[in-house]
């Protein structure tokens, strides 16, 4: 019996209802392609459906753990690429999913997700979905890595701390660097709250399933805003949250935009407000 490792943030999900909600939120529609049926991996560059359209329902899973979500994903998608850091769990998963690994339905990778290179597995922009019950201690790092990744996923469905989910959605009406960071690249939505008792071992806090859809850099491209400049302004604006923007952004932004928002604090600005400031 594998004992959860606190250092790796391991809390194994045991709720079938929560697992189904994750799958439903991912909107996975497998396309049983001719290439896949003949044994070719959909991760191989050029793998295509019988009508020549490249298979797009590939799933990247972070920290499969004991494979509860992995099992559900394998039943719904054409292929799962699972990245696991725990060597003991890698061996466990190899035995549990021996058949699926042989059939190349499951690609099991031992490694740290924060060092994972999507280009090594032909995960091109918006050709895969990231669906996972992630280690909560690296939630921010995972969001940053994949939302700003050159090869962005088209959808992310993640289990996160409930408090973090609320911050991302800014339910209290106050934005943060975290909420703006997510909304700049996609459309976040609360899927369901998940009580801590549905995990083993049970964490100290409740969790939530969130989805982030339509991930892209559209907001920067359509508004002709420099991505690096945008984040420099946002980070500077939030550096002293209690101060008004007229003080925080003095010298960085000019003109009517700063005059319009100068008396406000960073948490009161919407994503479109930050875009306007970045244009000045």
Binding residue numbers: 11, 13, 63, 84, 112, 133
Looking only at the bridges linking them, the beta strands covering 106-110 and 79-84 are parallel
Per DSSP, the three-state class of 246 is helix
Distance, CA of 100 to CA of 98 (rounded, Å): 6
Among 121, 177, 108, which residue's Cα sits nearest to residue 151? 121
- Residue numbers belonging to the annotated binding site for S-adenosyl-L-methionine: 11, 13, 63, 84, 112, 133
Residue 153 and residue 215 in contact, taking contact as beta carbons nearer than 8 Å:
yes
Partners of residue 132 on adjacent β-strands: 158
Distance, CA of 249 to CA of 257 (rounded, Å): 11
Q: How many CA atoms lie within 13 A of 184 on its CB side?
A: 28
**Structure token pair of residue 221:** 């491209």
First-residue to last-residue Cα distance in the chain: 59
User: How far from chain centre, in Å, is Cα 64?
Assistant: 15
User: By CB neighbour count within 10 A (0-12 exposed, 13-18 middle, 19+ buried), where does 83 fall?
Assistant: buried
Task: Answer left, alpha or beta for residue 96, where phi above 0 means left and psi between -120 and 50 means alpha.
Answer: alpha
Distance, CA of 280 to CA of 261 (rounded, Å): 12
Residue 90 and residue 67 in contact, taking contact as beta carbons nearer than 8 Å:
no
């Amino acid at each position: 019996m594998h004992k959860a490792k606190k250092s790796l943030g391991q809390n194994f999900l045991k709720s079938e209802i929560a697992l189904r909600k994750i799958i439903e939120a991912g909107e996975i529609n497998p396309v049983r392609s001719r290439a896949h049926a003949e044994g070719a991996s959909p991760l191989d560059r050029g793998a295509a459906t019988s009508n020549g359209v490249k298979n797009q329902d590939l799933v990247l899973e972070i920290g499969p753990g004991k494979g509860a979500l992995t099992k559900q994903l394998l039943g719904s998608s054409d292929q799962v690429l699972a990245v696991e850091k725990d060597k003991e769990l890698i061996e466990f998963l190899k035995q549990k999913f021996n058949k699926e690994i042989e059939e190349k339905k499951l690609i099991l990778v031992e490694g740290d997700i924060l060092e994972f290179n999507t280009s090594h597995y032909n995960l091109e922009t918006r050709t895969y979905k990231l669906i996972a019950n992630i280690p909560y201690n690296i939630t921010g790092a995972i969001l940053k890595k994949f939302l700003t990744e050159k090869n962005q996923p088209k959808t992310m469905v993640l289990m996160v701390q409930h408090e973090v989910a609320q911050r991302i959605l800014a339910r209290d009406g106050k934005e943060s660097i975290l909420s703006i960071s997510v909304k700049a690249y996609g459309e976040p939505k609360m899927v369901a709250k998940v009580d801590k008792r549905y995990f083993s071992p049970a964490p100290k806090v409740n969790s939530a399933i969130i989805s982030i859809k339509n991930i892209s850099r559209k907001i920067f491209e359509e508004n002709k805003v420099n991505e690096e400049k945008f984040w420099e302004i946002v980070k500077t604006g939030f550096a002293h949250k209690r101060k008004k923007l007229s003080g925080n952004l003095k010298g960085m932004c000019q003109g009517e935009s700063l005059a319009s928002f100068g008396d406000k604090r960073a948490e009161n600005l919407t994503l479109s407000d930050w875009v306007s400031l970045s244009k000045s």
